[in-house]
Amino acid sequence: MIRIHITLLFLALSAAAVAQVYHSCPAHPGGEYENPLYDQWLSAYDVKHYLLTLEVSNTDTHIEGVAEIVVEVVRDMDTLVLELQDSLEVTDIETSPAGTSLDFEHINQTIYIKLDRSYHPGEVFRVKISYGGEAGNDRGFFAGINSKKDSNYGFDVTYTLSEPHNARDWFPVKQVLEDKIDSFTFTLVCDKELLAGSNGILVEVEEAGAWRKHTWETHYPMAYYLVSFAVADYMDYSFYAPLSDENDSVLVQNYIYDTEEVMSDWKEQIDETGAMITLFSHLLGDYPFAEEKYGHAMAPLGGGMEHQTMTTIHTFKFSLVAHELAHQWFGDYITCGNWQDIWINEGFASYMEYVAAEHLRNQEAADDWMENAISIALSAPEGSVYVPEDEVEDDYRLFSYSLSYKKGSILLHMIRFILDNDELFFDVLRTYLTNYQNGLATGADFQAILEEVSDLDFSCFFEQWYYGEGYPIFQLFWEQVGDSLLIRSEQTGTAAHITPLFQVPFELEIVLSNGQSQYVRLDQQNNVDEFTVPVKGMVERIVFDPDNHLLKTATVIQRFPRDEPYKYGPNPVSNELTIQFPNSSIIDAVRITNYAGQEIYKETDAENPLVLNLSYLADGAYLLELTKASDTYQERIVKISVN
């Protein structure tokens, strides 16, 4: 099919036009989630460094260890508060290196440590906490630590997964997003037949008797929930991947089960991680932790978790590897400023799955990915991408696959469509990453960067698509009159009581009878808008949003001039609808559907004229389809009740 693109002055999405179209909307009000311990206790200090030593096994979640924590005082304090689950017994706490024992109380998943004196802003001190016990619990996927047998390969694995609030399941921690840990030294002691992977670089391996000690170090700021370990009978499969400059590279270190079966099943996909790192480095800026590594540690967790510099992962499927790698930029390098803005992590990483398919597969694969994402997002006709404050402690709502992941990714796809300039779109992402590197960001922060770089106002877009609920339902009616196409677009929202209108551009493919197509963009600014589009030929059909740029459902209906060879009425109809084709004994087919496509009535070889009793129908709009002599006609009828 030949594609003819037409640009109309009143349709062009130039920067000036969009700036006028996307007029300002009121800022979104709303509270933000905060750790309940923050105001009184956790805001008093900043975590600088950890020295964590743990004895671990691949067959259970029993741990024994010591956590030395270095903190800097922010405001006067005489009590240090950390979180740790009650089932782990704290046996001793002392100052380090002085060794002075400190009094403490461990209740309600919290340790209250009475310091040896009052400390003042700017002072730095460290405490040493000895603890141990059974760290596992029955929270399933969202437990901070798990020990399982991989059902595919039969290997026992113990691994952590602390997001969002579960780091306290296995180490003493301050669970506040805005306080990234400056550096971390992690020593893992396990059976010498095992390997234990973690964040950063492996700086030392020691063996003594039946034990092996692995010491990992990272010097990049890291959110508390990204600290991790995984221990199993692994082998190390490593290689280097080029960055944006081929002279620069990063170590890709993979801890995979020690069996050739894994290599046979997944080597090609593991190797493709290198191409993804190179691609993302070109598009987003170099891999942000290049001085250390990127890697994977296999574990039977049913997906992946983007632990900084070493993702914990179940398999090496293309989209999963791309998603977790993308998190190193979106989630790790920049972390959501509040769990309500989990879109900053999950929506962005999900969209990079599409981008990876675009560049490393083909456009068809990317289109298939987007079509699937849209179908999943359409399953949530209510609910916002932004997580309401009263739902933020519901892990399943927080990580809603349809909202946080899929709808979140489609928001970025729509922003890319609105900008209509890939260089500009990726410049927005690079600027955002530069401005918030090693820190935190919210949806509002990203909006500010987007508006600054694009010079467009996206306030309505965010109010409707990010904070608002649902998605639009379009009904498009068209009629050709000479060389003009008359279009009426009617829009409602699936959660109209919350978000009655989505002001958004949409694209139409106008298919002509000669096989050519014209593509135009229109801007929906009201629930009902009308447009006139010039066309060069007879219009055969119209395709709404042919390339799946929008989250929506749409029905396209052709209207016919009044000289069509039939009569029907009345319309609106309350009881009986009469249909008549002059000079004919039968009507080949009559069909009535609702706008969801559900068939309400169908009759073939119907009498002519035909009188239908529609009194049983619910009030609303329906589609009447008539077939006669191989021609099919469509009409919109409205059923109303008469009091």
Least confident of 304-308, 319-323, 467-471, 592-596: 592-596
In this model, does residue 481 exceed pLDDT 90? no
Instruction: Return d(Cα 626, Cα 586) in angstroms, integer.
Output: 12
Residue 13 has pLDDT above 70, yes or no: no
pLDDT of residue 347: 98
3-11+470-558 and 42-337 share one CATH topology? yes
pLDDT at position 643, please? 62
Q: With 90 as the cut, is the pLDDT of residue 566 above it?
A: no
pLDDT by residue (tens digit) across 206-229? 999 999 999 999 999 999 999 999
How far is the C-alpha of 162 from the C-alpha of 35, rounded, in Å? 15
pLDDT for the residue 561: 61
Residue 17 pLDDT exceeds 50: no
Residue 234's nearest CA partner among 273, 268, 211, 263 is: 263
CA separation for the pair 441, 221 (Å, rounded):
15
Q: Model pTM? A: 0.85
Contact 439, 180 (CB under 8 A): yes
pLDDT > 70 in the chain, percent: 94
Which of 497, 490, 491, 537 has its CA nearest to residue 518?
537
CA 426/CA 569 separation, integer angstroms = 55
What local confidence, expressed as pLDDT, does residue 431 receive? 98
3-state secondary structure 468-520: CCCCEEEEEEEEEECCEEEEEEEEEECCCCCCCCCCEEEEEEEEECCCCEEEE
Residues 235-240 have a mean pLDDT of 98
Q: Inter-axis angle of helices 408-419 and 422-435, to 10 degrees?
A: 120
Helices (H), 238-342: 260-284, 318-327
| pLDDT tens track for 82-132 | 999 999 999 999 998 888 999 999 999 999 999 999 999 999 999 999 999
What confidence score (pLDDT) does residue 583 get? 75
Per-residue pLDDT band at 148 (split at 50, 70, 90)? very high
- Topology annotation, domain 3-11+470-558: Immunoglobulin-like (2.60.40)
Can you give the C-alpha Rg of the chain in angstroms? 30
Confidence of residue 476 (pLDDT cuts 50, 70, 90): very high
Please state, rounded to an integer, the average pLDDT across all residues of the chain: 92
pLDDT for residue 16: 34
Amino acid 21: pLDDT: 40
| Structure confidence at residue 29 as a pLDDT band (50, 70, 90) | low
pLDDT tens digits, residue range 408-453?
Answer: 999 999 999 999 999 999 999 999 999 999 999 999 999 999 999 9
Higher pLDDT, 251 or 559: 251
Which range (236-245, 512-521, 523-532) has the least confidence? 512-521
Alpha-carbon distance of 121 to 124, in angstroms, equals 9
Question: Is the per-residue pLDDT at 563 higher than 70?
Answer: no
Give the residue-averaged pLDDT of 511-538. Answer: 91
Tell me the domain boundaries of the chain.
3-11+470-558, 42-337, 567-639
Q: Residue 601 phi/psi, 5° resolution?
A: -150, 140
Neighbours of 273 (CB within 10 A): 22
Say how far apart CA 474 and CA 490 lie, in whole Å: 6
Both structure tokens of 439: 């820190």
Tens digits of per-residue pLDDT, 150-162?
Answer: 999 999 999 999 9
Q: Which amino acid is it at 84? A: L
d(CA 519, CA 498): 32
CATH 3.40.980.10 fits 567-639, yes or no: no
Q: Tokens for 547?
A: 């390339």
- pLDDT per residue as tens digits for the range 286-337: 999 999 999 999 999 989 999 999 999 999 999 999 999 999 999 999 999 9
Lowest mean pLDDT among 38-42, 55-59, 340-344: 38-42
Q: Which two tokens stand for residue 576?
A: 């009986």
Residue 397 has pLDDT above 60, yes or no: yes
**Contact assessment for residue 527 and residue 491, using Cβ atoms and an 8 Å cutoff:** yes
Domain 42-337 architecture? Sandwich (2.60)
Would you call 264 helix, strand, or coil by DSSP?
helix
Phi, then psi, of 170 in degrees rounded to 5: -140, -10
| Phi and psi, residue 158, nearest 5° | -110, 130
Closest CA to 323 of 399, 234, 222: 399
Q: In whole angstroms, what is the distance from residue 118 CA to residue 93 CA?
A: 17
What does residue 173 show for φ and ψ, rounded to 5 degrees? -150, 150
Question: CA triplet 382, 386, 391: central angle to 5 degrees?
Answer: 80
SS3 label, residue 61: coil
Mean pLDDT (whole number) for 197-211: 96
> What is the pLDDT, as a whole number, of residue 79?
98
Q: Which of 106, 79, 101 is nearest to 90 (CA)?
A: 106
Confidence category of residue 27, pLDDT binned at 50, 70, 90: low
Distance, in Å, from the CA atom of 455 to the CA atom of 431, rounded to the nearest integer, reads: 14
